[in-house]
Chains A and B, each alone.
With several copies, the nearest count.
Chain A
Amino acid sequence: MEYQNAFRVFFAAKSQNEALARIMTAAFLSQYDPTLSEITDVKTAVSEAVTNAIIHGYEEKTGEVELFCGYKDGQVYIEVADQGKGIADINQAREPLYTSKPELERSGMGFTIMETFMEGIRVESRQGEGTRIYMVKTLTTE
């Protein structure tokens, strides 16, 4: 796809970069005069996906997280990817309240939030190879 504008960033799988990923996303989005609520929707979804890459993908060990933001014709395209553990059962993972890490006080609501705040979400994952999440959101334009 030919995006009107896009960036792709790779950053260390460290929890302080969750905020960095949100700021980058918000700064990119703000070029397109989104509503505050749209910015927060996308930031929240990105935060969930990046957090998952760090704690589930890499299990809080070293690794690199990839974040892509693209814009085309009023739609924002997000990708978040890791080359970590992968997801064995994607359907189970996407169930509300399911978490494989209750000991870390995870709520199991990450995927549900991504699905609620974005329009489409697609999960590609292979065990031992990693996970890539695709999300889309249409911005209201005046």
Chain B
Amino acid sequence: MELKFFKRNRTLIIKIDGEIDHHTCETLRGETDRAFEKMGGKNIIFRMGDVSFMDSSGIGAIIGRYKNIQRLGGRIAVAEANQRVEQIFQLSAMQSLIPSFPNLDLALEYVEGGKE
């Protein structure tokens, strides 16, 4: 798994490439939290277009970030998830908390639309 971090307005964008499982989630969690602290910001978007595999560990990691962010009044969203990743989100009913958008622009619109 490879991670790339970008900042747009007050949103940290994390592009995930490769496999998300319990093993790689440790990196995903650690690096996301570090980047969020260092780069500042309020919201998080996970760009998942290049995720080649994800199991339930991915749900745990995303919900974990949601819990942290939400405490600070921020929003979190997922963008570009493929059908398989989407299916796993649906099973977990995660989408009531963390919406999933087909592209980055829609995700940005949603997270930046949160109250100040």
17 more contacts with CB within 8 A, not counting A16-B23, A51-B57, are A15-B21, A18-B23, A19-B23, A40-B53, A47-B21, A47-B55, A48-B55, A51-B21, A51-B55, A55-B22, A106-B57, A107-B59, A107-B63, A107-B92, A110-B56, A113-B56, A113-B91
**Are B60 and A19 in contact, CB atoms less than 8 angstroms apart?**
no
- Binary B-proximity of A8-24 (CB < 8 A = 1, otherwise 0): 00000001101100100
B35 proximal to A (CB < 8 A)? no
Q: Interface on A for B, CB 8 Å cutoff?
A: 15-16, 18-19, 22, 37, 40, 43-44, 47-48, 51, 54-55, 96-97, 104-110, 112-113, 116
- Binary A-proximity of B10-29 (CB < 8 A = 1, otherwise 0): 00000000010111011001
CB distance from A25 to the nearest CB of B (A): 12
Q: Within the complex, which residue of B19, B22, B61, B88 is in contact with A51, where a contact is CB–CB below 8 Å? A: B22
CB within 8 Å of A: which of B60-98?
60-61, 63-64, 84, 88, 91-92
What's the tally of chain B residues with a CB closer than 8 Å to chain A? Answer: 20
Interchain CA distance A78-B66 in the complex, whole Å? 34
Interchain CA distance A6-B22 in the complex, whole Å? 19
Interchain CA distance A110-B88 in the complex, whole Å? 10
Question: Which residue in chain A gives the minimum CB-CB distance to B64?
Answer: A105
Interchain CA distance A97-B91 in the complex, whole Å? 10
Interchain CA distance A11-B56 in the complex, whole Å? 22
Interchain CA distance A113-B89 in the complex, whole Å? 11
17 A-B pairs in the complex with CB atoms less than 8 angstroms apart? A16-B23, A19-B19, A40-B84, A44-B53, A47-B21, A47-B53, A47-B55, A48-B56, A54-B22, A105-B60, A105-B63, A106-B56, A107-B56, A107-B59, A107-B63, A112-B91, A113-B56
**A107 in contact with B53 given A15-B23, A18-B23, A55-B22 (CB within 8 Å):** no
CB distance from B55 to the nearest CB of A (A): 4
CB distance from A40 to the nearest CB of B (A): 6
Question: Which residue in chain B gives the minimum CB-CB distance to A21?
Answer: B21
